[in-house]
């Protein structure tokens, strides 16, 4: 074979700029630090947006008073029923700790909007994301990072149906499980059936 038709062992640019393969795969401290700064900054901005979105975006108005949620028989004693608040896209739960009591809460934790669930053994509403807990009677924060109580709604039993009456107004403070701070003053969140 002639020398004219053989390929060079290395391309010309590799001969001009010699670098070993190990060096090209090596990440320098500076490159790693830049990566950490970018990722940390992105996570900080994302967390800040999530944390303040409830303050920036007004709460959705629920449908008119008297909107049917579900049948009373759909909610087992000691259990819950999930539904979407009428007129919104917000998830909510009906909690039925005993045969005559119904309480309705928005099903989003006030910390980072994770879905909450009812723990009947503790009579708490629990957020599994960061171990937050709310009082299942009042929605007040009992422990964990949530900054505000759960949004609570008053309901009535009308015939065989559970009907939404309106939102329970409450002070903005949190982390209080005292009876004196109970906005319902110990009364159940469900009014007695109308005759």
- pLDDT, tens digit, 9 for 90 and up, residues 139-163: 999 999 999 999 899 899 989 999 8
Question: 182 and 139: one domain?
Answer: yes
Contact 155, 164 (CB under 8 A): yes
Q: Which residue matches tokens 């759909």?
A: 74
Q: What angle do CA 169, 116, 51 make, to 5 degrees?
A: 70
Q: Is 167 in a helix, a strand, or coil?
A: strand
Question: 31 and 71: one domain?
Answer: no
User: What integer pLDDT is reported at residue 124 of this predicted model?
Assistant: 92
User: What integer pLDDT is reported at residue 59 of this predicted model?
Assistant: 64
Kindly report the pTM of this predicted structure: 0.60
- Residue 82: strand pairing partners: 93
* Domain CATH for 126: 2.102.10.10
Question: 23 and 113: one domain?
Answer: no
Question: 173 and 80: one domain?
Answer: yes
Q: Which residue matches tokens 């008073």?
A: 65
Assigned domain for 3 exists: no
Parent domain of 146: 67-191
pLDDT tens-digit series, residues 18-66: 666 655 667 788 988 999 999 999 999 998 887 787 677 766 666 667 7
Assigned domain for 88 exists: yes
User: What integer pLDDT is reported at residue 99 of this predicted model?
Assistant: 86
Assigned domain for 62 exists: no
User: What integer pLDDT is reported at residue 22 of this predicted model?
Assistant: 59
Question: 161 and 113: one domain?
Answer: yes
Contact 164, 62 (CB under 8 A): yes
To the nearest 10°, the Cα dihedral for 187, 188, 189, 192? -110
- Under 8 Å CB-to-CB from 183, ≥6 apart: which residues? 138, 168, 169, 170, 171
- Whether the predicted pLDDT of 178 surpasses 50: no
Q: What is the DSSP letter of 34?
A: H
- Please state the domain count of the chain: 2
Question: 73 and 163: one domain?
Answer: yes
């Amino acid at each position: 074979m002639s020398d004219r038709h053989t390929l060079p062992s290395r391309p010309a640019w590799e001969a001009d700029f010699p670098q070993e393969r190990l060096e090209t795969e090596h990440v320098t401290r500076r490159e790693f630090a830049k990566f950490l700064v970018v990722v940390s900054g992105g996570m900080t901005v994302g967390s800040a947006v999530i944390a303040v979105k409830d303050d920036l975006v007004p709460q959705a108005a629920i449908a008119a008073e008297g909107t049917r949620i579900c049948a009373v028989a759909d909610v087992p004693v000691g259990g819950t029923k999930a539904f979407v608040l009428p007129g919104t896209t917000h998830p909510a739960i009906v909690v039925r700790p005993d045969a005559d009591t119904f309480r309705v809460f928005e099903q989003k934790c006030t910390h980072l909007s994770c879905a909450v669930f009812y723990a009947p053994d503790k009579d708490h509403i629990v957020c599994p994301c960061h171990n937050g807990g709310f009082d299942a009677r009042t929605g007040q924060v009992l422990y964990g990072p949530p900054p505000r109580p759960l949004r609570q709604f008053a309901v009535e039993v009308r015939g065989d149906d559970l009907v939404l009456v309106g939102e329970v107004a409450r002070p903005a403070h949190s982390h209080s499980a005292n009876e004196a701070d109970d906005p319902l003053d110990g009364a159940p969140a469900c009014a007695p059936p109308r005759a």
